[in-house]
Structure formats: C-alpha cells, structure tokens
Amino acid sequence: MPGGPLNKVTKGARLAIPAEAYNSFVDAAVAHRERGRIGGNPLVATPGSGVVRVRNDSGLDRGRFDILSPESAPLAPLTPSVAIEEFLRVIVLGAVTPTLAHSGRALVLLEPIAANRVGLALADGVTHARVRMIDDRDRGADVDAADPTVLRSCSDGPAQLLWVQPRAERENPTIAWVICRLGVSAERTMRAVLTSAEEFAPNRWRYSWMEARWQGAAAGWAPVLGAYTHTDWGYAYNGFENANRATGVQGSGIDEDTLPDGFDHQPLGPGAAPLLHGPVYAADGTPAWIFDGVNNVDGECQP
C-alpha cells in the first residue's frame, strides 16, 4: 500500500523507519528465534510444538525433568468463559503432583519451575527423563505416584523408552536416565497375576491382582518387586462375567438352569495371568481394570 509503514525505499533515499515498521521487524525476529532457526532455544511453547506452559500448582518448587500432570484450571484469565481470545492465543495448563489417577498424562519439565510460577514442559515429543526401572526389560513408562521427580517403567505405557541408561552406569541402580517419546496412546495394558476372587454378585467376582513380568517358560508370569496391586489401582473384573446372573445363560454360554445339582460357575483361579486393560473409572472415580476369561464350571455330583 503506497505510503504504508512497510514500503521499501530506493537507493540513496533518506532512511526513516516508522515505529510501526520497526516493531514489525522486532516481532518477526522474535518469532524467527523462537522457531529455533537462528540459535534460539527450539523448546518454546508454540502451537503444535508439544511444548506447553504450565503453572506449578504442586505446592513445591520443581526441578528440570521433574514430572507434573495437568489437573487444575488454566491460568486466569486464560479460560474460555473469561477471555476466549486469550484462551485461544496461548496454552497454559495448571499442573499438579501426579497420582495414579493421572495415568497417561505426564508432563516433563524442561526448566525449573517454582511453586505457583509458570514455565515450560513437554507434553508430546522426545525428551530426556529419569525413570524408576521396575524391570530393565520394560520399554514403557508412566507417572510414578510415589515420586514426582521420575517416571515409572511399565511393560506398556504412554511414554515410549527409546534408550535406557545401562544399569552399570547408573548412580542409583533403580533410577535410569532415558530418552523417551511422550504422546503415545494413553490406553494401557498390564499383565497381572490374579491372587484371589471375591463374589460381589451371583456368578460375578472382583479379582485381587499383582503386576507381573515374564520370567521364562519354566516360571511363567510372576509378580515383581515394587509391583502395582489392586490395593494401589483398583480391582480387576472379567468382561465375560458381565452377563452373569443367578439364573439363565451366562457369559460362558452355559445355561445355569441346566447344570446338575452341585455344579456352579467358578472364578478364574489364583495364579492366572490375564492381560489387564485400563484403568477405567466408575462415575465416582473408583479405578478398575478389565480382562477377558471364560469361567469354568465345577462341583460335585449329588447323590
């Protein structure tokens, strides 16, 4: 536009830079630097980068590579009900100390963040992190409810371990530096050994369990040191038992009413190692894990 602040000048003409043009140059330079193209830090909060601003609502100062999870409200007025334009312009998440309820929602801090202050964290992408290794064969990780300075390894998790520091090189044998990729699907599977069953409705049981790892063909699946259990993360329930009732056709396909006297459907026995899926949450927030296994029928013939 002729006469506009960003018009080009001809050779030999007197140079006078309008304030609007100068500010535009500065804005362009800052944006260029934030994209990491001229030696600036590439880890900046830009849309689609996987880096977000977080407010540390944990109540404690947190260090670089510590873990927070999004939970509390975004920084005011960055809420859609208060200032929709500001909400859409920048992402600032309120973040708290992780618990098991935050499974799949780990944020790795990219810089120290004091309590109630805002800093940068990675929500999606490749980063360094510290992981408490439950089993050195694990290639997944998730939040660690016992320690917000680390992730916790698992056989399948929302953080993919691309490289794990060898045990011989670790200062603490159980804590490894890793390179991991955040942003993997938050759906979890976990192999667990069933330890007991409690009937809570006719032909339906809630199962106690312990997280397990493969120990070889002879030993099979066995609980590991530091394993999660139903006490930590809710009982397991058999999806095939969903249709079970006191009478009629059960999830096994067997009609309860045609069984001989003295025979009944049985829960899966202790020591079975089903693949648990979850966690899933009831309306009141109670966690549970789901697996599928056909119930057997057993009993004694009546005279």
**Residue 27 belongs to a domain:** no
Question: Mind listing the pLDDT tens digit for each residue in 60-101?
Answer: 999 999 999 998 666 655 666 666 776 777 778 899 999 998
pLDDT value at residue 181: 96
Q: Point out the domain boundary residue: 153, 182, 211.
A: 182
**Residue 66 belongs to a domain:** yes
Which range has the worst mean pLDDT, 105-114, 118-127, 293-302? 293-302
**Residue 37 belongs to a domain:** no
**Residue 15 belongs to a domain:** no
Instruction: State the residue range of the domain holding 267.
Output: 188-299
Q: Point out the domain boundary residue: 182, 208, 238.
A: 182
Handedness of CA 275, 278, 281, 286 (dihedral sign): positive
Task: Tell me what percent of the residues of the chain surpass a pLDDT of 70.
Answer: 80
Question: Mind listing the pLDDT tens digit for each residue in 232-251?
Answer: 999 999 999 999 999 999 99
Beta-carbon contacts of 78 under 8 Å, excluding residues fewer than 6 positions away, are 86, 87, 90, 92
Q: Are residues 163 and 226 in the same domain?
A: no
Q: Are residues 64 and 175 in the same domain?
A: yes
Q: Are residues 139 and 72 in the same domain?
A: yes
Q: Point out the domain boundary residue: 182, 201, 218.
A: 182
Query: What Å distances lie between residue 297 and 47, 198, 260, 263, CA to CA?
Result: 57, 17, 10, 7
Q: Are residues 255 and 158 in the same domain?
A: no
Of 92, 104, 80, 108, the residue nearest 54 (C-alpha): 92
Structural domain count of the chain:
2
Residues 156-179: what's their mean pLDDT?
95
Q: Are residues 192 and 290 in the same domain?
A: yes
Instruction: Give the CA dihedral 113, 119, 123, 126, nearest 10 degrees.
Output: -80
DSSP bridge partners of 287: 281
Look at residue 37 and tell me whether its pLDDT is greater than 50: no
Whether 219 and 271 have beta carbons less than 8 Å apart is answered as no
**Residue 127 belongs to a domain:** yes
**Residue 43 belongs to a domain:** no
Angstrom distance (rounded) from CA 129 to CA 131: 6
Q: What does the mean pLDDT of the chain come to?
A: 86
Q: Are residues 174 and 202 in the same domain?
A: no
pTM (predicted TM-score): 0.72
Angstrom distance (rounded) from CA 279 to CA 289: 5
Q: Are residues 205 and 249 in the same domain?
A: yes
**Residue 41 belongs to a domain:** no
Greater confidence (212 vs 40) lies with 212
Whether 20 and 59 have beta carbons less than 8 Å apart is answered as no
Q: Are residues 201 and 161 in the same domain?
A: no
Residues 39-68: what's their mean pLDDT?
80
Greater confidence (19 vs 209) lies with 209
Q: Are residues 269 and 157 in the same domain?
A: no
Look at residue 155 and tell me whether its pLDDT is greater than 90: no
DSSP letters along 236-302, please? Answer: EEEGGGTT--SSSB-TTS-BGGGSPTTEEE-PPPTT---EEEEEEE-TT--EEEEE--PPPEEE---
Residue 36 banded pLDDT, cuts 50, 70, 90: very low
Of 214, 203, 213, the residue nearest 238 (C-alpha): 203
Q: Are residues 240 and 160 in the same domain?
A: no
Question: Mind listing the pLDDT tens digit for each residue in 182-205?
Answer: 987 656 899 999 999 999 999 999
Residue ranges with strand state E in 36-187: 51-56, 67-70, 92-96, 107-109, 118-122, 125-132, 140-143, 151-154, 159-164, 175-182
Q: Are residues 231 and 264 in the same domain?
A: yes
**Residue 219 belongs to a domain:** yes
Q: Are residues 202 and 81 in the same domain?
A: no
- Joined together, the tokens standing for residue 198 give 């409690």
